[in-house]
Amino acid sequence: MILLGYRDHNVHELLCHEIADRAGYYDRLGVEVRAVPGADHPDAALSAGLGGSLIETLRGQRRWKVALVHTLHPLFWIWTRRSDFRSAGPTVLAGFPAGSIVDALTRKMLENHWAAAESPETLRYPGGSLGDRRRLEALTSGAADAAVIGSAFAPSAVVRLGLTDSLFFGATLRFPTAGLAVDSARMSLDDPAVRKIVAAQTAALTAIGERDPVALDAVTSLLHDAGRPDAHHFLADYLSPQYGPTPEDVRTAGADALDWLAAALGTGTDAATDFYEAIR
| Domains of the chain, earliest start first | 2-73+175-272 (3.40.190.10), 77-172 (3.40.190.10)
> pLDDT tens digits for 226-274?
899 999 999 999 999 999 999 999 999 999 999 999 999 999 999 999 9
Model confidence, pTM = 0.94
Collapsing DSSP to helix, strand or coil, 35 comes out as strand
Phi (first) and psi of residue 174, to 5 degrees: -115, 115
> pLDDT tens digits for 105-135?
999 998 888 765 568 899 999 988 889 999 9
Phi (first) and psi of residue 71, to 5 degrees: -155, 155
Length of the chain, please?
280
Predicted confidence at residue 86, as pLDDT, reads: 58
Asked if residue 139 lies in contact with residue 131, where contact means CB atoms within 8 angstroms, the answer is no
Predicted confidence at residue 129, as pLDDT, reads: 81
Between the alpha carbon of residue 177 and those of residues 73, 169, 192, 229, the distances in Å are 7, 11, 24, 25
